[in-house]
Structure 1
């Protein structure tokens, strides 16, 4: 492997610009190709980002070049096909969340990564916040004892996207996949990604389908709210709730309840688009007994100036150069895809449904 990592970008939507800006800050990485199925879009992106890169309308042409890895920034419905093609071409893949539209797609993607010389890592930049890492350290330190109940998720009072995000054929799911995946990753990564066994859920889209609240109400066919109770092995339950829009200020903090202590974590930020775990941590409080007295201890937040998106992209490039495993492997995110799949099935069937994970291996643990 040369010292310079040669990168391609597939898909030139809004998030692709964040990837391009991040790569340009990494001296060891160079964007050498960009692909978009819409004629002219790749060339326009190259010009807008002032890249010395070749534009393509067929991603397979890009994958046939001597690039080392790709950032996949296409709509959710294209994640599966593009990832499979890249892995079969032997390229490393940084895939934007959510991992896939269906559970079967996610399983095929993991299978492809296991036989490919390329790795598959999923883009969850909040993991690079030192406060998120502190949450994980506290939960896994044993201070809470046996963790038996977790409550996670978040709610925007108003924060509904449009375009490809609200069409099931392109997005697969709505709030669950868009911002719920961050909430799940926060909690599951702290817990070591335990294996789920069943879920009972409810979803709705009262706001998205109402023209009073959304300008594309006639095209809105995904959920804007969801709540679920997920059961895991080792007698653990998780309450998961998410909302793009609601008549409430918050759906509450994330909580870890253990036999020896509890941890409450609030999200960072204020306003209509805040209240979810796509950002940082606002505050943390540890609840425990001390000398027989009920005690609560504030956990000081770690001040930092890290660009979390840059950290995500840099870790991918460094992993390629150093020959390291995927920073956030598909085997982990397959678990949350199974949960989201179970949520949607349970909501449609209006009953509890089983979750089956045929491909869980030893590599599906916390990082």
Structure 2
């Protein structure tokens, strides 16, 4: 029988409960510690989740002093940077919830710390574990589309604005762009091999979040609820990125990849005011191409599955720690999308195109 992994959880909000549920399904994992910055909250969480024998700490520093194989970081965005850097320097392997950080410079330091320490930093993008997302990546990278010169991604909720820490500039850093836009970016960028961005021209607004007719915390709403950007990459590729927490429209359209030999159209699954974005599953995939001198289109059969994508994300991290594998979704990749989101916010504020500088 192999070694039992000792896991700690930093942050004891709603997303931490999902991590506990996923870890409990792994026979080789034991949750031994929970920390939260709010005094007493970690202890309440340990009791509520019946984590027998788990220690509770007010703050992550004491937790990181324990003998642990890895940690799940489930804190508000503003705490991602310090807890991740501290955990990596304490010799822990890290599974970090999205988005990576509040600023690009924070994400850069986190990535550099992982490299310097040799410890794992993996990001929690569970849609990647949908077999249809892997199929999408296979199609784009197979060469079937020819040279991909234009892509479009994003999505929009008819009405789906969160509150609390999500709408605070200080705590979240960004709004819809970081909250659900990061999923859209990861889907498109991962399919295309994470190309290197060079410029971005963007617009953002918060007409709905700041209106008490649409949001109960309108007076506290500090981030964007809508954004649109044109991103230019080194390999003569452009990406149209658009995202919305709220709008008077049913959809912002499908994700698409235009290639010199074929095009691919992808729609999200689900329905209702909170659907239409890429934090869920694939609804359909269609290939547009020419055959025998005529236009045609082919519906790509979707892979049927009953996987719990969140559980698969946690399982992959735990097995990577156990088996000594590299980070399943490495920080170096997500650093690129953090640079894009940073560029979007800078461009929107400056009302002009800005450069993206990557080390």
The answer to whether 1:9 aligns with 2:6 is no
Q: Distance in 2 between matches of 1:45 and 1:21?
A: 13
| 1:173 counterpart SS class | coil
Q: Distance in 2 between matches of 1:106 and 1:216?
A: 29
Q: Distance in 1 between matches of 2:234 and 2:119?
A: 31
- 1:365 equivalent in structure 2: none
- 1:122 equivalent in structure 2: 123
RMSD across aligned positions (CA): 0.9
The answer to whether 1:181 aligns with 2:179 is no
Q: Distance in 2 between matches of 1:336 and 1:78?
A: 19
How far residue 2 of structure 1 moved from its aligned partner, in angstroms, is: 6.0
Would the alpha carbon gap of residues 330 and 343 (structure 1) be closer, same or farther in structure 2, given more than 3 Å must change?
same
- 2:198 equivalent in structure 1: 197
How far residue 339 of structure 1 moved from its aligned partner, in angstroms, is: 0.1
Q: Distance in 2 between matches of 1:337 and 1:97?
A: 11
Deviation per residue, 1:5-46 (Å, 9 max, x gap): 110000011111000100001111110000001111101111
TM-score, structure 2 length as denominator? 0.99
- 2:133 equivalent in structure 1: 132
Deviation per residue, 1:95-139 (Å, 9 max, x gap): 000000000000000010001142000000000000000000000
- 1:278 equivalent in structure 2: 279
Would the alpha carbon gap of residues 90 and 2 (structure 1) be closer, same or farther in structure 2, given more than 3 Å must change?
farther
- 2:356 equivalent in structure 1: 355
The answer to whether 1:44 aligns with 2:44 is yes
- 2:165 equivalent in structure 1: 164
| Farther off after superposition, 119-128 or 54-63 | 54-63
Q: Which runs of 4+ in 1 moved over 3 A?
A: none
Q: Distance in 1 between matches of 2:59 and 2:267?
A: 44
- 1:26 equivalent in structure 2: 26
Cα contact 1:91–1:117 (8 A) shared by 2: no
Q: Distance in 2 between matches of 1:261 and 1:151?
A: 15
How far residue 58 of structure 1 moved from its aligned partner, in angstroms, is: 2.1
* Alignment size in residue pairs: 358
Cα contact 1:110–1:331 (8 A) shared by 2: yes
Q: Distance in 2 between matches of 1:14 and 1:243?
A: 23
Q: Distance in 1 between matches of 2:242 and 2:37?
A: 35
- 1:292 equivalent in structure 2: 293
- 1:237 equivalent in structure 2: 238
- 2:150 equivalent in structure 1: 149
How far residue 183 of structure 1 moved from its aligned partner, in angstroms, is: 0.1
Q: Distance in 1 between matches of 2:61 and 2:117?
A: 16
5+ residue gaps, structure 2: none
| 2:3 counterpart SS class | coil
Q: Distance in 2 between matches of 1:349 and 1:8?
A: 42
Q: Distance in 2 between matches of 1:110 and 1:58?
A: 23
Q: Distance in 1 between matches of 2:235 and 2:59?
A: 47
Q: Distance in 2 between matches of 1:56 and 1:2?
A: 28
| 1:294 counterpart SS class | strand
Q: Distance in 1 between matches of 2:247 and 2:152?
A: 19
| 1:341 counterpart SS class | helix
Q: Distance in 2 between matches of 1:248 and 1:94?
A: 36
Q: Distance in 2 between matches of 1:142 and 1:84?
A: 39
The answer to whether 1:107 aligns with 2:108 is yes
| 2:184 counterpart SS class | helix
Q: Distance in 2 between matches of 1:354 and 1:232?
A: 11
Q: Distance in 2 between matches of 1:210 and 1:15?
A: 28
